[in-house]
Every structure is written in structure tokens, then in C-alpha cells.
């Protein structure tokens, strides 16, 4: 039965896969991933190759980026309630305009300042994006919707990484950074023009405490067993992902140098393109299976894939073929897990809590990526196999949390 007291915008929020909100959201996320791909794929390589910095420095900067993203993601959940999803998304997207400037400076202080701004805006960006996803896609299609949402991100990143690899052979990092800045500014304007929004603030008038009131807003969520298990799944799997995304590009770069390949920086970008391309197919398959059958089997298979990939990387980290094969399997498995997280959140949260649960989830993701980046950088300096050995243990714990969470949700029923 429809509650007549709910605002019309809320009742119409889940308007399907072809709604203007969802289609525009996917377009915006594709463009964002495409234009920031050089930052994602080559930031650590830039610091080592051009600035001659050790892995701990890139790990620390990345950790700062992620820590700020997590803290501001929690605030982003409340900002979605108070300002609306569109305004929160645009605030978050504004920081991505600055990513290209990272490649135009070697000054440690300026680099840190840029990371501060980019990190602070990345949290609202992620929270508002997933909140848009849950609101704009009908519940029964959320598996496919989540797959398409994340697929646009990985497809944009894959294509952007491929273009980066080709362009890097002719352009300097500084030239690439300048092009990134102009392109991201244009994407921000496109998002402001095309994305619907503003009226959805009426949905959350009765959704919780007034103002930010962060502790009062989030305390009921944290107390739930299902949320605790989701936190465990998200933290353990993502901690390893943070280690891997720092270590693998550097190991690919080093293996390419050792093999005498031309333009080893481009090889690292090609790895990102290949792994993300394969991940798009796995994301779509996971979403389709979750909608048609059940989210349990796809989730557990993907989580187990992360464990097996970690074991393979621990054995074959010194071989370029091993890094490509096992790293691609890891990327596909990890993105498949992420694809199913919004479906779990939608199942667990009440209507007025969804933006907050998304914010909490991104806080956990950022904390895990922070842990993985810092610890991964230290372990990489000791033995390149160590991040993957530790990662296999962490991912095993995350798989156990996934199994327990699905069992709990199935027992409680809809």
C-alpha cells in the first residue's frame, strides 16, 4: 500500500533503468572515470618515476586522500538529506577538477594541499552517487542498476587508462594534467545542466535529526548486527584492495623495466585498461544473477575470487604475465563485490536511512583503503609478496562476513 503522506518525489524516485536521473548519472560517472584515469593509474608511478619518491610517500598521500574521503562521506550522507543529492554530488565532483593539477607540481606541500581538497570532496561525490543510484532505480532492478552504475565507472577508467597509455608515450605528465583539468571542468558543467534534482529534499524532512547531528543520525545504524557484518565485509575485502591497487601498478612498472620493455609507465596504464575491461563483464554478470536469482551466490563467489587472486599474486608477483592474469582476476572479483553492496544496503536500510548507510559504507571503504595503502606501502618495502599474503587472510575474513550477512538477511526475510 502506498503511503499518501510520502512526497510525490519519493514515490517516483525509483523510476527505472531508463530514467533521466539514472542515465545521466551513468554518463557523468563514465566521464569522471575517463578523465581522472591518469590520476588513478599513474599517480604512484609519477611519484616514483618523475619525483623519485619512495612507496611510503605515495602510500601516505593516498592514505590522506582516503581518510578525508571517508570522514566527509559521513557528512555527505547528511548533506544529501539537507541539501539534496544533486547539490551534494556537484560539491563532490568539483574536487575531481583538481586531480590534473597533481601532475603539474613536484612540491610536496602543494601536492598535499591538492590531496586535502580532492579527498574532502571525494566523500560527498561517492555518497551522493550511490544515493542517486538507490533512489532512481526500482528495487527489483537494483542488481543490474548497481552493475551498470559501477560498470560505467570501470569502463570509463579502462578506456581512459588505455588512452593514457597511448598518450603518455608522447605527452609529459604535466601536459596530461592540464588536459584533465579542462575536461573535468566541462564534465562538471554538464552534470549541473543535465542532472535532475532539488525537489528530492522533501523526501527527508522526517528522515532524522535536524542539522548534521552525525552521532544521533548514525548510532541506530551502527548498533544493528547486519550493518556490523556489512562493515566487516567492506573493511576486510577493501583493505586488501587498497594494498593491491598501490602495489600492482608499481610491480608492473618494475617488471616492465626489468624486461626491457619500452615506456614502462604505459605498461602500467595498459594493465589498468585490461583489468578494468574484464571487470565490466563480471560486474554485469553479478548484477544480472543477483536480480534474477539471489545475491548470495554471486557475492560469495566474487569474495572467494578475491581470496584466490591474492594467493596467485603472492606466488607470481615477479612475473609480468602473472601480475596481469592474477591482477585482472582480482579487479574483476573486487568490483563484482562492490556491485552488490548497494543491493545489500537497499535491503537493510529503511527509506529515510539509505543516504546515511551509504555514507557509513563509504567511511568504512575509505578507512580500509587508508589502512591498505599505508600498510601495503610498508609491506611492499619489506617483501613484495607480503601485501598479497596478508590480503588473502583479510579477504577470507570478508568472505566469512558475507556468508553470515546473507544468512542473517535470508532468515529475517523481506
3-state secondary structure of 51: coil
Band (35; pLDDT cuts 50, 70, 90) = very high
Which residues touch 393 (CB under 8 Å, ≥6 apart)? none
Lowest mean pLDDT among 99-103, 107-111, 209-213: 209-213
pLDDT at site 346? 82
Whether 387 contacts 243, CB under 8 Å = yes
- Over residues 300-306, the mean pLDDT reads 95
Whether 365 contacts 234, CB under 8 Å = yes
pLDDT at site 236? 95
- Over residues 257-284, the mean pLDDT reads 80
Nine-digit cell at 293?
Answer: 536469482
- Over residues 14-40, the mean pLDDT reads 83
Band (328; pLDDT cuts 50, 70, 90) = very high
User: pTM (2 decimals)?
Assistant: 0.72
pLDDT at 119 over 60: yes
CA dist 274 to 161, 277, 278, 323, 380, Å? 9, 5, 6, 12, 23
Band (139; pLDDT cuts 50, 70, 90) = low
Question: Which comes out higher in pLDDT, residue 217 or 347?
Answer: 347
Q: Which of 80-84, 220-224, 240-244, 407-411 has the highest mean pLDDT?
A: 240-244
Q: What is the pLDDT of residues 39-91, one digit of tens each?
A: 877 787 788 777 767 666 776 787 788 788 888 887 877 777 778 888 888 88
3-state secondary structure of 6: coil
CA dist 410 to 95, 147, 208, Å? 40, 22, 27
Whether 360 contacts 222, CB under 8 Å = yes
DSSP secondary-structure letter at 269? H
Q: What is the pLDDT of residues 196-222, one digit of tens each?
A: 865 454 344 444 455 555 656 677 777
Half-sphere exposure of 49 toward its Cβ, with a 13 Å CA cutoff? 21
Lowest mean pLDDT among 24-28, 62-66, 253-257, 316-320: 62-66
pLDDT at site 56? 67
CA dist 145 to 76, 302, 343, Å? 22, 18, 9
pLDDT at 108 over 60: yes
pLDDT at 414 over 70: no
CA dist 332 to 100, 116, 187, 376, Å? 27, 30, 27, 20
Lowest mean pLDDT among 25-34, 37-46, 222-231, 285-294: 37-46
pLDDT at 399 over 90: yes
Domains present along the chain, CATH in parentheses: 18-197+215-412 (1.20.1250.20)
How large is the angle between the packed helices 55-83 and 108-136, nearest 10 degrees?
Answer: 40
pLDDT at site 326? 94
Question: Which comes out higher in pLDDT, residue 37 or 413?
Answer: 37
Report the candidate in 277, 250, 45 with the shortest Cα–Cα distance to residue 154: 277
Which residues touch 348 (CB under 8 Å, ≥6 apart)? 224, 226, 227, 230, 357, 409
Residue 262, burial from CB neighbour count under 10 angstroms (0-12, 13-18, 19+): exposed
Band (140; pLDDT cuts 50, 70, 90) = low
pLDDT at site 229? 94
Amino acid at each position: 500500500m502506498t503511503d499518501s503522506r510520502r512526497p510525490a518525489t519519493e514515490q517516483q524516485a525509483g523510476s527505472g533503468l531508463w530514467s533521466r536521473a539514472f542515465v545521466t548519472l551513468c554518463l557523468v560517472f563514465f566521464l569522471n572515470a575517463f578523465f581522472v584515469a591518469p590520476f588513478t593509474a599513474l599517480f604512484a608511478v609519477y611519484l616514483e618515476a618523475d619525483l623519485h619518491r619512495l612507496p611510503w610517500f605515495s602510500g601516505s598521500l593516498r592514505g590522506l586522500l582516503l581518510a578525508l574521503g571517508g570522514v566527509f562521506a559521513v557528512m555527505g550522507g547528511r548533506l544529501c538529506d539537507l541539501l539534496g543529492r544533486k547539490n551534494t554530488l556537484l560539491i563532490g565532483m568539483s574536487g575531481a577538477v583538481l586531480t590534473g593539477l597533481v601532475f603539474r607540481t613536484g612540491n610536496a606541500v602543494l601536492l598535499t594541499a591538492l590531496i586535502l581538497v580532492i579527498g574532502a570532496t571525494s566523500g560527498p561525490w561517492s555518497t551522493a552517487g550511490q544515493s542517486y543510484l538507490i533512489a532512481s532505480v526500482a528495487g527489483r532492478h537494483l542488481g543490474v542498476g548497481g552493475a551498470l552504475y559501477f560498470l560505467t565507472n570501470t569502463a570509463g577508467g579502462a578506456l581512459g587508462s588505455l588512452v593514457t597509455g597511448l598518450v603518455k608515450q608522447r605527452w609529459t605528465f604535466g601536459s596530461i594534467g592540464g588536459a584533465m583539468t579542462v575536461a573535468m571542468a566541462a564534465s562538471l558543467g554538464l552534470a549541473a545542466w543535465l542532472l535532475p534534482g532539488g525537489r528530492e529534499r522533501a523526501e527527508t524532512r522526517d528522515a532524522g535529526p535536524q542539522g548534521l547531528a552525525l552521532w544521533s543520525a548514525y548510532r541506530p545504524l551502527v548498533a544493528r548486527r547486519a550493518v556490523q557484518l556489512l562493515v566487516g565485509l567492506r573493511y576486510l575485502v577493501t583493505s586488501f584492495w587498497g594494498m593491491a591497487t598501490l602495489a600492482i601498478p608499481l610491480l608492473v612498472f618494475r617488471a616492465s623495466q626489468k624486461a626491457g620493455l619500452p615506456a614502462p609507465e604505459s605498461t602500467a596504464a595498459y594493465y589498468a585498461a585490461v583489468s578494468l575491461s574484464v571487470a565490466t563483464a563480471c560486474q554485469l554478470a553479478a548484477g544480472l544473477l543477483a536480480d534474477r536469482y539471489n545475491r548470495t551466490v554471486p557475492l560469495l563467489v566474487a569474495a572467494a575470487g578475491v581470496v584466490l587472486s591474492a594467493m596467485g599474486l603472492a606466488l607470481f608477483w615477479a612475473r609480468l604475465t602473472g601480475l596481469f592474469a592474477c591482477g585482472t582476476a582480482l579487479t574483476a572479483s573486487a568490483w563484482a563485490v562492490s556491485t552488490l553492496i548497494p543491493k545489500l544496503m537497499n535491503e537493510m536500510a529503511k527509506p529515510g536511512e539509505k543516504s546515511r548507510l551509504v555514507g557509513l559504507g563509504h567511511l568504512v571503504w575509505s578507512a580500509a583503503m587508508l589502512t591498505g595503502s599505508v600498510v601495503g606501502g610498508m609491506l611492499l618495502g619489506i617483501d613484495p609478496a607480503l601485501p598479497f599474503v596478508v590480503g588473502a587472510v583479510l579477504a577470507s575474513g570478508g568472505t566469512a562476513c558475507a556468508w553470515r550477512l546473507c544468512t542473517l538477511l535470508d532468515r529475517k526475510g523481506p
